[in-house]
């Protein structure tokens, strides 16, 4: 179980690295940022803290990409998950 939690944290870290490299300008890296966080939210959903962080960061990434519908859906999911 610990190894899966480490993987979740690693994917979140990778997403953060992509976001840092993208600097809000490189759409390819911004998409990679979003996908890394979505991976955590879906594949590693059993790790609440990592999932919450992933959803929060995915909301931000989707917003930066102009994906408003996706951003709103992720934000709703984040609020629901946070309330658990």
CA distances from 10 to 5, 42, 63, 75 (A): 9, 14, 22, 22
As a whole number of angstroms, the distance between CA 48 and CA 25 comes to: 30
Residues 6+ apart with CB under 8 A from 20: none
At residue 84, the pLDDT reads: 59
pLDDT given at position 39 = 98
Give backbone dihedrals phi and psi of 24, rounded to 5 degrees, phi first: 70, 10
Mean pLDDT per 10-residue interval, the chain, length 84 residues: 92 97 95 98 96 98 97 97 85
Question: What pTM does this model have?
Answer: 0.93
Question: Could you tell me the maximum CA-CA distance found in the chain, to the nearest angstrom?
Answer: 37
């Amino acid at each position: 179980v610990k190894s899966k939690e480490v993987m979740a944290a690693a994917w979140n870290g990778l997403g953060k690295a992509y976001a840092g490299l993208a600097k809000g300008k490189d759409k390819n890296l911004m998409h990679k940022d979003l996908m890394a966080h979505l991976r955590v939210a879906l594949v590693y959903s059993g790790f609440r803290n990592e999932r919450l962080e992933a959803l929060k960061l995915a909301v931000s990434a989707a917003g930066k990409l102009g994906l408003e519908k996706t951003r709103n859906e992720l934000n709703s999911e984040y609020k629901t998950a946070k309330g658990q």
